[in-house]
Amino acid sequence: GTDAGSVQDETSSSGNKEDDEDDDDDSDDRIDTQQYDPDRLKAFNMFVRLFVDENLDRMVPISKQPKEKIQAIIDSCTRQFPEFSERARKRIRTYLKSCRRNKRA
């Protein structure tokens, strides 16, 4: 069932559909460099990739990954990069999707 105690990022504005195949997110790498330090953003992206590589199966969409592993990565991102905490999950999802697209297992 739906566990109301979980983090509120499960339902985005788009309702509660499976969130691995909506293609709104390839612009993510080019986000607001006015707002953020580009080097910091690059470090954040590398950080996410490193964690995903070590902890997740890159051929599986985020919705099929173990929730607690995803949450652990998001928590680590939030500690290291508090300003990107909002996009940590989206970043993981984008990376997993690009891995599947490129099939670089």
pLDDT of residue 15: 45
* Residue 24 in domain: no
Residue 43 pLDDT exceeds 90: yes
Residues 51 and 45 sit within 8 Å (Cβ to Cβ): no
Q: How far apart are CA 20 and CA 41, in angstroms?
A: 22
**Mean pLDDT along residues 98-104:** 83
* Residue 4 in domain: no
Q: Which domain holds residue 73?
A: 34-102
**Mean pLDDT along residues 28-53:** 82
Q: Which two tokens stand for residue 14?
A: 């788009």
* Residue 58 in domain: yes
* Residue 94 in domain: yes
* Residue 39 in domain: yes
| DSSP H helices in 9-87 | 38-55, 67-80
Number of folded domains in the chain? Answer: 1
Residues 62 and 87 sit within 8 Å (Cβ to Cβ): no
Residues 74 and 89 sit within 8 Å (Cβ to Cβ): yes
pLDDT of residue 51: 96
pLDDT grade for 13, boundaries at 50, 70 and 90: very low
